[in-house]
Structure 1
């Protein structure tokens, strides 16, 4: 990855931080982008040649500024990892009870924000004519729906088909677009929901893991390894694919 420039959104969080570190360890220069600028600065401080960047992917002006800062400093952009995303802790309810404002918040970040970020990042990629990689972080719930999180399911399934559409449109221009669909990953949100003493689903952890053949959640570093593969020369003929990194959860029903 030496000489490559990679922008990672949501890079102050567990998965994004691991992705930034893994790409950096393999020689890429990283733009650590997050709405939490202080968090982004902490991550960037530990990476050679990295730049922290405050970005709200819901805001086109903020996104454009992040891309402009990238080009000003590095002169190019080769890899975009659309990792930023949210779900909800408080509103695990059926769709008829789901608050409209929370629906808008989740889909606005997870799907609309991904579009806004991709559109801005593509401008310098296409102008340079050197190809590029876009890696979208979707979810297994985009492949197999789960209850009580309808906007997250809708957004992540949208990402999957958007990834395929982008691959068809951009492949001929040398830009490869793929998605990763993580299963349960040990992030702060997962820890709070399933493993905290006061977690909403703390009593159902073993029931959930019984459907995962490997019997455990992924570590953020395992998602980062998959991003590294898709960003690397080893994935030069992979385009429009969705790679589930879920311990086998979507392979079939465990009984």
Structure 2
């Protein structure tokens, strides 16, 4: 889709690679200036250099000072902040185990990024939106926050938390002119899912077919398809959409395939 984001400014976390970079590029294609906030500064700078109006900031979303610095740098460079996309997140590759064996430190690592970090970024970025009288927040959740999966208990818990946190944001911030929604991707082809499922040497390559059998459309999604959903929630045309969880999952959560 095409929409008018001319003059708008977006901050996208985890935007140096993967889904985040696709989102940042799609927003820029529609006229927005974009702050690429990522812990990977080298790729953040490369990404920013490829866009018409962009700024790269090194941000670990567990670091409140770094978050506040990125928001301040965005305001200094572009004069405003209209859109926040909370995309940054982590999962586990080495510890795909049941909860009775799940390491405490790995639980804390995932929750601290996927849920705590999203809260910290939102708390900082929403302040200039409220001051201007409006803005949009799009949180990247997951279908596992709606329908739990095995062997990744902290990721499931964090994404379920994001879904209800999004609804809470919508209730609290809507009266202040800020809309909050979430996108819940299903199985998307990324570097991470290639390592797990879709690459020939993927850890769980033998399960990829079972995944596809549960998706009515019979395939994983693409980065661009997630980015299009985010663009819709940022567009003027979605101005009355608030507190919504938009699944991009090929029908995964619609029910059981028999």
- List structure 1 segments (4+ residues) > 4 angstroms apart after TM superposition: none
Q: Following TM superposition, by how much is the alpha carbon of 1:19 offset from its aligned partner in structure 2, in angstroms?
A: 0.3
Structure 1 partner of 2:230: 227
State the superposition RMSD in angstroms.
0.6
The unaligned stretches of length 5 or more in structure 2 are: none
Q: State which of 35, 43, 48 in structure 1 corresponds to 2:52.
A: 48
Structure 2 partner of 1:9: 13
Q: State which of 132, 142, 146 in structure 1 corresponds to 2:145.
A: 142
Q: State which of 85, 88, 100 in structure 2 corresponds to 1:84.
A: 88
Matched, 1:163 2:132: no
**Length-normalised TM-score, structure 1:** 0.98
The unaligned stretches of length 5 or more in structure 1 are: none
Q: State which of 73, 93, 99 in structure 1 corresponds to 2:97.
A: 93
Secondary structure of the residue that 1:254 maps to in structure 2?
coil
Q: Following TM superposition, by how much is the alpha carbon of 1:197 offset from its aligned partner in structure 2, in angstroms?
A: 2.8
Q: Following TM superposition, by how much is the alpha carbon of 1:195 offset from its aligned partner in structure 2, in angstroms?
A: 2.0
Structure 1 partner of 2:115: 111
Structure 1 partner of 2:73: 69
In structure 2, distance between residues paired with 1:200 and 1:49 = 39
Please show how residues 178-197 of structure 1 align to structure 2 within 5 Å. 178-197=181-200
In structure 2, distance between residues paired with 1:5 and 1:195 = 35
Please show how residues 112-127 of structure 1 align to structure 2 within 5 Å. 112-127=116-131
In structure 2, distance between residues paired with 1:55 and 1:82 = 12
Q: State which of 28, 34, 47 in structure 2 corresponds to 1:30.
A: 34
In structure 2, distance between residues paired with 1:126 and 1:205 = 44
Secondary structure of the residue that 2:84 maps to in structure 1?
strand
Secondary structure of the residue that 1:12 maps to in structure 2?
coil
Q: Following TM superposition, by how much is the alpha carbon of 1:26 offset from its aligned partner in structure 2, in angstroms?
A: 0.3
The answer on whether the counterparts of 2:189 and 2:198 sit within 8 Å (CA) in structure 1 is: no
Q: Following TM superposition, by how much is the alpha carbon of 1:198 offset from its aligned partner in structure 2, in angstroms?
A: 2.6
**Length-normalised TM-score, structure 2:** 0.97
In structure 2, distance between residues paired with 1:86 and 1:216 = 23
In structure 1, distance between residues paired with 2:32 and 2:201 = 40
